[in-house]
Each structure stands twice: as C-alpha cells, then as structure tokens.
Structure 1
Amino acid sequence: MVSTQTQQEIERTLGQVPSWMNQLAEPASDHSWGIFRDLTLGESELTPREKALVGVGVAAAVGCPYCSHFHREEARLAEVSDDELEETVTLAGTTRYFSTVLHGNEIDLDDFVDETDEIVNYLKEQEAPAAGADD
C-alpha cells in the first residue's frame, strides 16, 4: 500500500488512487508510483502521443488486457486515430512474429547484427540520391 503522502499525490494527479495501486507490496509501492508518474505522465524525450503508441504496442505484444485498455485510453487522450492504433498493434504483432521466427530457428545474433548493419547502410545510400534529387 502506498504511503499517505504518495496517496495524496496520486489523488491530486489522477483524481483517485486506483485500487490496484493499493495492491503494490512495500517497499515497492511508493517507488512504483514514481516510475509510473515520471515515465508515463512526466516530461521525457518522448511525447505523450509517442508514449501512448509504445504502450499500446507493448500491451498488445504481451497480451495484457489491463495495459491494453489503459494505453488505448491514453492514446485517445493524445488524439491517436483508430487507424494509427490498428497499425501500432499490427507492428507489435509483426515484431513478435519475427522474434518467434528468429528465436525458434536459433538465428546467430552476430550474423543478424551484421546483416542488419548492411541493410541499414544500403537504405541510407538509397536515401542520399533521393534527397539530392530535389536540387
């Protein structure tokens, strides 16, 4: 259960203390709120919109209905469209699919990294002429 001070801060921030936050074991409860507050609600390198899209994708990939609901609502607050939500979930599913293929086939990580570097370099080379075409 969160401390009285943390409980008051949560109430000021969210309008209530969600019941699940009272299920957090000590000593993690106050710290858990801090992580949620700072990463989800606080200013960071990611915009609220980007955070919401990451949350939707991860929630879908791990199959968590609680997180899926929360992050979809968070995304709607950030004016993410239904098409963007669908694409985010599809991208998360694609990542999970290929992760399964890579792990299941025991693809060598070093070879994968080398191939990825080659692909990135190729794509960068393709972008350079296209960017110069406007001149």
Structure 2
Amino acid sequence: MRKTFAIAAITAATLMGAVSFAAAQELPSVEDTYAEIEATFGVVPSHVKSYPKSAVPGAWAMTKGLLMDESNALEPKVKSLINLAVAAQIPCQYCTWLETKMAKAQGATDEEVAEAVAQAAYVRHWSTVIHGMQIDLETFKTEFGGE
C-alpha cells in the first residue's frame, strides 16, 4: 500500500511539475506555432494539424528543444539514428521512413543506418530473454559490476 501511495505521489508531483513548467512558459498561439512549423518544414504536417490545438505550442517547443537546439549534447545525426532505432522497435512505419530520411540527411551512411537498426534489435533480443527468463535484477547487476 505504501509503495502504491509513493508511486502515486511521485506521479502526481511529476505531473504537477510538468504543468507548472508549461504554465510558466509563455508559449505562442497555435496560429503562430503553425506559422513557425510551416516556415521550418514548408508545411504543417497533417499529424500536427490533428493534434489537440491546446497542446500544439508545447509539443512544438519540445520538438524544437530536442531536435534543433544547438546547445544539445548529441549531434543531429546521432539523434536521428537513435530515433530510427526506436522507430524500428515500436514499430512505426511512418517514423521508420521519416527517421531513415532524416538520418541520411544528417549524413548517416547506409551502414550506419543498418547498424543502428541492428543495435536496437540486439537490445530487444536480450531484453526479451532476460525478462522472459525472469532473471533477478540484483543478480544481473552484481554480475555486471554492481550499481
């Protein structure tokens, strides 16, 4: 019961923090956001138009922050390869198509694309084995050097 309460409290605190963060941000109107998206991509994609209008400015701010902020630690090509690996595992044909195109636009080679997808499959393979065999997490951590 305490564990459930603790999880609920942490979830509530996280959500309240996210709401507070969003409220503290002065986000543009949806119309201004659409104009900025169109200026960036040449179009406002249909999936953005179908998104709840109240959430579009926040979603665009997150997208810009993750993908376009020059102060980010990861290089754009690396991000695109990560995105592709995740898209392949979800699986999402839309995302896989777009992220392959984006990775190549960022300079990824066919070999790098193949390796990113294979890397995702490698992690998924062992995750399936470890979870399916119900390997004890503490034993697993100990076997690989602890914390």
TM over 0.5: yes
2:89 equivalent in structure 1: 61
Q: AA paired with 1:40?
A: L
RMSD: 1.4
**Runs of at least 5 residues in structure 1 that lack an aligned partner in the other structure:** 119-135
After superposition, give the CA deviation of every residue in 1:43-75 in whole Å (9 maximum; x if it has no partner): 211000110110111111111111101110111
TM-score by length of 1: 0.81
Structure 2 Cα separation of the partners of residues 83 and 76 of structure 1: 11
Q: Does 1:16 align with 2:43?
A: yes
Amino acid aligned to 1:17: V
2:23 aligned residue? none
2:127 equivalent to 1:99: yes
Distance 1:11 1:18 in 2: 8
How many percent identity over aligned positions? 34
- Could you tell me which residue of structure 1 aligns to residue 55 of structure 2? 28
In the alignment of these two chains, the number of paired residues is 117
Deviates more, 1:27-36 or 1:74-83: 27-36
Contact 2:30 2:53 in 1 (8 A): no
- Structure 1 residue aligned with 2:75: 47
Q: 1:81 maps to which residue?
A: 109
Question: Distance in 2 between the 1:40 and 1:103 partners?
Answer: 32
- 1: CA distance, partners of 2:36 / 2:45: 12
Q: Name the aligned partner's letter for residue 31 of structure 2.
A: T
Amino acid of the residue matched to residue 105 of structure 1? Answer: M
Q: Structure 2 regions of 5+ residues with no counterpart?
A: 1-28
Deviation, 1:100, is 0.7
Runs of 4+ off more than 6 Å? none
